[in-house]
Structure 1
């Protein structure tokens, strides 16, 4: 089986490839010569994932899946949410986003948050969605060198280390994307 994963983010691709069984060959956007920016104009994480999968299916014809992920912080009324990648501006800089998040939370005592990933799968002419959540909290400063995005400031419930301090294998077991991909794999294996 061959599926296009609608991403050029090598970190995401690496995370997902570590979960998907070898009989499912993943292709990236680069592999299918998709160089344009795929629209993400929806107001929800699920809406963006669906929009990206439908765009790929319509314009390239491949069976595919797309994900969208957001960090939802309770004290910030769910922000940055759907705007997580561009929280500090259109430059989509993880360092800037993290700095802004820590500054916004500085006066707050409630630091609870959750990562949410929605995967939209377009296969055999049908659309399916899978959602993964990981609850936790935002630390007061960055810890760790691994991961990407908000990983250095997110600590999952029951853990004393951030996502940037744990292994990719461990993150895939407890993390939002790992949970959503596990549902995708289970569905594909039926």
Structure 2
């Protein structure tokens, strides 16, 4: 364990994201531990180029940039959907497949068009990276396996949730309540690993 850990009550943590929904999610998750969360967006930090070829690499780029800019510990998340029939794509390019207009309906059609036959195995990955101003980092990965539904179902969730059916379920993520999804999701699993190591 890093000499910086666990984070102390009253710590201030930068969430290296401009996504208000993600900020609200992490603020709620961290509230019981007395950790105050402020977002990169609130601090007007620029978004760094995600040039790495792995989820961990991109999470580290975002976390290190925020920690360096603010002098505070920073937490970043990089996540995406990987489809076996597409050789693991869209993977780290999951958001980019939806384009600047966030057209996830189009991205989901592209996935369906790329699946040939019955190979519908898929998985979601989330990597959380915690970076400190002195350059120290800790990364935590969560993964959930499942299959791609033949067509989108459900109105909850976001992104690729309407086509992902987690293992042991018949419903897509988008057909579940937030509480149900958050109990089993890739991000929840990554956060649990982070919690055990970083929050004491």
Could you tell me the TM-score, scaled by structure 2's length? 0.87
Which stretch shows the higher mean deviation, 68-77 or 6-15? 6-15
After TM superposition, the structure 1 = structure 2 runs for residues 54-93 of structure 1, keeping only pairs within 5 Å, are 54-93=64-103
Residue segments in structure 2 that go unaligned for 5+ positions in a row: 1-10
Deviates more, 1:73-82 or 1:86-95: 86-95
Deviations 1:141-175 (A, max 9, x none): 11111111000110100111111111111111110
Closer/same/farther in 2, CA of residues 132 and 89 from structure 1, 3 Å limit: same
Retained in 2: the 8 A contact 1:19–1:178?
no
- 1:64-115 CA deviation, whole Å, 9 max, x = no partner? 110100211111111111111112545443222222112222x331101000
Structure 1 equivalent of residue 38 of structure 2: 27
2:6 alignment counterpart:
none
Which residue in 2 is equivalent to 1:133? 143
CA distance in 2, matches of 1:123, 1:15: 21
Aligned length: 188
Give the match for residue 61 of structure 2: 51
Report which of the two structures shows the higher radius of gyration computed on alpha carbons: 2
Aligned to 1:100: 110
Greater shift in the superposed pair: 50-59 or 134-143: 50-59
TM-score by length of 1: 0.91
User: Are the counterparts in 2 of residues 172 and 178 from structure 1 also a CA contact under 8 Å?
Assistant: yes
Q: Residues of 2 paired with 1:17 and 1:60: CA distance?
A: 18
Name the structure 1 match of 2:7.
none
Structure 1, unmatched stretches of 5+, are none
How far is 1:33 from its partner?
Answer: 2.1
Does the CA contact (< 8 Å) of 2:82 and 2:122 recur in 1?
A: yes
